Structure 1
Amino acid sequence: MTGGREVQKTFDSILPGASVIEDRKEDGTIDTVLLLDRKLNIIDRGCSGRGYAVWATFNTAVGIVGVIGVHSPRLRLEKEWLWGWVQQLVMEGQWLLIGDMNMVEYSRDTIGPSPILKGRELRKWTLCANAGDLSDIWLEAVQTRGPWFTRQAMHGNRLDQARLDRCYITKRGDWIFQMEEMLHDGSSSLADHVPIRISLILEGETRTVSKKSYFKMDGSLLKNEGIRREVERTWSAHPDWANDDRKRWGLALARTRKILLAHKRTQTRGEMDAEEISKRLALARLQVQVNDSTSNRREFEEALMAARRREQADMRICRVKCRIKWLADGDAPSKYFFACLKAKTKREELTSIKLDSGEVLVDEDRILQLIEDTYGNLYTAEEEGSEALEKRREILQLVDKRLTAAQNRKLEDTPTEELIEEIVKTLPHEKSPGFDGVTSEVLVEGWDFMRGDCFKMVRKDTLSALGMSADNVRRIQGLVTGGAAQVHVNGRFTRRFEVTRGVRQGCPVAPLLFAMVTQPLMRLLREEEARGRLMGVNYGGQTTLLHQIYADDTGVNLTMEESQFNRLKATIQVFEEISGARLNLAKSLIMPISPEIILDWVRTTGCDIAGPGKSFLYLGVTTCNPIDEAVIAKAITQKMLKRLAHWSNRFLSWPAKIILLKQVLAATPLYQLLSVGLEQKGLEALESLCRQFLWGWVDQDHPRASMVAWERITQHK
């Protein structure tokens, strides 16, 4: 369809000698226009009839070549129709495709260009000036705002404000070349005002590109004399662009470059100032040591404050550098990433150890041997004498809760498929029972075809490794003591040593083992109570509480008498001899019911004392005697600040911060809040910490304003 006189006249003022092919909507408005040189031997031309695409074919030395301009719609049905129509059109010959922004923004749609382009997504704003066999397609006088392809409604019905997009070439429906030379965001692009020439040469099956031009969002772009001269020429030719956002963007680039240069000069001066500040601080410290006068101390404090200000400035510069590096490299394992890792390893290197005798070890081999001996002795069980074995048998006879023969047989039975299915269906939701990341929902949904594999895995791998036999004790002992360990020091490993004492971190058997091992201790305490040697605390009525044990945490309630404490120590020492466990008095805590009254003998026990207002940990929960909400809130805040201090030293993307907030930081106080509640004021303080971490700080005393409501950030998916 040939364009009307009005359209032809408009484009003649921009591109003399251009032939216009247009596609109108049903209401008669022009939506897509394609410009071709009138010198071309045009064979055929056409349009979609819906305002979405126009095309033309012409003869060249390499055969019939076609050009098609596409304005991709947003509606699903229209898009599906359009790309089916385009696919049928480009099945024969060689085609140049010129697309619009929707092809990029919606390229992943199943009905978008991706099925046709076979996964090669397009970049925005590409221009191709062809040389050789296709040299007449594009006139060298055409500017980047040219155009080849335009949409009338794009810029307020001004056809001279057209945008030029990407260019692709096809052969028999296969995309054999794609132009992606413009590496910048086209929404506010300097390339809209700069003519670019890229030659595409077709020689048989060879496709080469010459005269490549790359444009990036970089402040140094205007340093190029040719680019700056061309921008000035383009702006002077269009006075109506004086208030254009893109012109302001170009000016902003120049200002950005000046700011970057100013920052560089400031940084250079700062490095010189840092050396002077260090000398000044060292001299002031020496003067205070020689003569601690008021003037010397004032000068020392001023030098110290200057050093701290300089340190804060260095931290800000470091954060800026991290942002620049992250924007350039992303999360890729780049040279910058490995340099940071190497620096961290160097900081954490163990260079010397001071022994109790005063000797300092600096030799790496001796340090490695010392660490190996220390951890080897720590995790190796001691040999027991005959007296300890006899004592153990005597105490174990007191244990009254024993497994019956039926329970033992149940332990030795092979798990059935029905039992495994029952366990799988009772697993917690949204949790992965193994290290493979497969959640319980996946196991339940796919149980029909996974049941055989799960049953074989439990029956063959697990039970064979356990060595299923009648002796369950030997089986558990093999789980606990059947491992070896190495210590990693300064990039080197010690020799392996067997672990025959203690339990592994996170071992699911550990709580049950402690429950079994502490049975003799509980029995000893009951025997001492029955003989009247230990007396529990009466909490009213007939309730007398002597002890409570949770895994490896044991609490004993006694009257405040020194004889009671000494008898408890003697009872625990008997348990230590028969079990190999050790009581650490330095980690033990004495909590008086009346914290104001602390007897003298309590201070000589070697245990910590829970005095008035002093916080302590019990089963991982911070509490105090008596309970003070302000102290508990402070402990939770300190725990969150400790994590935030570690994260704040890294440059994290906004999505990464959101994940840390929702998955890690928000879960930090949950366990504490299950036991001890907080008022609204305390909860608001915790939320304030999270918001400050997410949005950052303007300076040391002023956090940035929130850009998104906190309720929206914390809402569920």
Structure 2
Amino acid sequence: MEEVERYYRNLYTRVQETAQIRKAREHVLQLLTSRVTQEEDATLHQVPTEEEVEEVVHDLRKEKSPGLESVVAEVLQACLSFVKKDCIDMVIDFWEKGALTEKNRTAVVKLLPKNSKSQWLKNWRPLSLMHLSYKILAKIMANRFKKQMPKLVDDMQTCFIHGRSIANNLLNIRLGDDWARISDQDCFFLQLDFVKAYDRVEHQFLWQTMHAMGFSGRTIKLVKGLAQGGYAKVHVNEDFTRNIPIQRGVRQGCPLAPYLFTLTTQALMDSIREGMNRGSITGIQIKPDRQLVHRLFADDTGFCLQMNEEHFREVREKIAQFELASGALLNVQKFVISPMRDEDPPQWLETTWCTVAAPGERFKYLGLLSGRGIQAEEYTAHVKLEYEKKLKHWSLRILSWLERLIIIRDFLWGWDQEGKAKKSLLAWDILGESKEADGLGCGSLEATADAYLVQNLQQIFHEDRDIWVEILSQIVIERVQTSQKDREIQDWSPQEVLICIKTLKTPRSNLAKRMIKA
């Protein structure tokens, strides 16, 4: 228990600000371009209405572990008619004072394993179980921030932003790789990940980021009241650590935390975009005025860069500045470079301290395989293997809580009218297996993948479509020009290219071929 407390005290203790840190923050924050208007800011700090409070209480997620008060959301929802006035008074009091009691700011921290190497504390994810009063206040603010995020956050960040999807990241990387090969661009994919990204956000950097974006002191005060000055009691083996002051970080389990964390990543994205505008960072060239450089899903970051040492050093320098300013720390174990050409990479890559993927070597990006020359069949085989690993757990008579969690997540379940879960209805493998293999033949991994592709193809008709749509259209254009010598197609819009019948049989990319076929 002492070791657990020591680890989390160190994790949650802020870094003393130095002149070097202040200089890095000034440099990073002056590049921020996102701004909130006074009218938009006013919607964040105005006093909540009775209807808004009532709606948030009813929307609290059910069957979730309680905080220190040991009261679950279902109890409050059932008794709301008796305690509604108390809830509203609590909300109004916080909006007036911007402060919470120590009890409401204290969270029980449960540790969840991230992978099989659970003997190390760093491989456990701290999940904060908050007081119900805190959840209500944070949920009100989260609902309001959610509406502002699409405007404030670069479209390269797809996590926690309404209307954006992790699929956009994967499609951009896959299609970008295809286009780099087709257009003979010497590029590489750089994969980054940050250590304990949520828990290392320096509060001072968060407040300064919000101020630079135009948030008022009133709004920042409300956010400070929720995110600053909290305590954690880590729950291990039916016992608790002493109160640990939280001097930095945003708490996983807080409804507002994802939006606050995403705001801090905007500083990195604007810094990268500034380098793109100066020409010191170049990615995969899609059109003369359009290139694919970086994608983020929360802290999982991917760069598609030209094989240029100076441009790589520029990216690394900007990331280092962001680390110093925000408190972030790169996870060097996931610092991977994957060249997009099969020929030997240049020698300067050996001096980058990155893992350079060899031909045929595979690694994971956002849960899916990545690497040089990967084919669609490899993706399917990988997903099937992952399901087989899970299926092996189901044959055990005695299951751990983690194995039971796997069963819950991978079976179809039914619910009665009261919302209570019934017994499992059907295993996923039986549902999707062919009838010849004693399944129901209702679907397959390939059919599911095609269904997702069709869903994503709807973006073709959106004005704010993602860049992968343009990459796909360029792949089709190149193939049509090669096979039919039709130069007129170069001036077509992505919609015209991708829905034109004569292009349906010409995509050169395997992924593009499946998307057009779908």
Normalised by the length of structure 2, the TM-score is 0.48
Q: Which has the higher contact order (CA 8 A, sep 6+)?
A: 2
- If the length of structure 1 is used for normalisation, what is the TM-score? 0.36
Q: Which of the pair is proportionally richer in helix?
A: 2
